[in-house]
Amino acid sequence: AQKITQTQPGMFVQEKEAVTLDCTYDTSDPSYGLFWYKQPSSGEMIFLIYQGSYDQQNATEGRYSLNFQKARKSANLVISASQLGDSAMYFCAMRESRYGGATNKLIFGTGTLLAVQP
Amino acid sequence: DSGVTQTPKHLITATGQRVTLRCSPRSGDLSVYWYQQSLDQGLQFLIQYYNGEERAKGNILERFSAQQFPDLHSELNLSSLELGDSALYFCASSVDRGGGQRDEQFFGPGTRLTVL
């Protein structure tokens, strides 16, 4: 069965520094998608970044980048130049494979609570 | 603003009651997904509809049901409510292009359900 593991329940980072949030996944399907979402204390889920299993390059979106290591089955989120507004819960998610016409549903990890300190 | 709307924002009800949560997807999105977020279960996929038809079911209880209407809005019906049903219920939508495309899901603000 497909699974997402986030081993860091919480992390602290100083403002303006970079931080890496870990995510490992387990799947036997060759085709899959990996997503990161941010959930501030207000509760909404905000899409941050996507990495496809066949993408040759690591994804980047502004201050967010994804360190994708396929052989290790890891998709760590890197946030550069942390800001106070980055304090939130961060979820890693995997889209089930489309192989065989599967659904597009997401499987989420347990999340990492990031606190940015001034 | 993701473009996905959910109503109501908060809902407080008693055990044994029935409630309906409503979701309007982003313009152009054909797929609607429902997720439940609770402290003990985390974020769990409940059900997906694509262009009016059920496409996939997840950990959805038999007391729960959903539908997607011709205008693509969706409703999640929760009946015989129990204390454990208290959670944040999210609706998400995507274009659902098919194939190995990016197809990110955009989430609504959620409905916080409290069962007393």
Q: Residue A5 CB: number of other CB atoms within 10 A? A: 14
How far from A29 is each of A7, A107, B5, B62, CA to CA, in Å? Answer: 23, 14, 33, 30
Nearest to B58 among A31, A35, A105 (CB): A105
Nearest residue to B110 via CA among B18, B6, B24, B17: B6
Backbone φ, ψ for residue A27 (5° rounding): -160, 150
**pLDDT confidence of residue B96:** 76
Mean of per-residue pLDDT scores for chain B: 93
Residue of A5, A27, A61, A106 to mutate, testing the B interface (most B Cβ within 10 Å of its Cβ): A106
Token code pair at residue A62? 């502004």
**pLDDT confidence of residue A97:** 60
Kindly report, residue by residue over B16-41, the tens digit of the pLDDT. Answer: 999 999 999 999 999 999 999 998 88
User: In B, residues 64-103, which contact A (CB 8 Å cutoff)?
Assistant: 88, 90, 92, 94, 96, 98-100, 102-103
CA angle A34, A35, A38 (to 5 degrees): 155
Strand duo A19-21 + A10-14: pairing: unpaired
**pLDDT confidence of residue B11:** 97
Kindly report, residue by residue over B36-59, the tens digit of the pLDDT. Answer: 999 888 999 999 999 999 988 998
User: Computed from CA positions of residues B15, B72, B94, A37, in that sequence, does the dihedral angle turn out positive or negative?
Assistant: negative
Q: State which residues of chain A have pLDDT below 70.
A: 97-103
**pLDDT confidence of residue A98:** 53
C-alpha A29 chain-centroid distance? 19
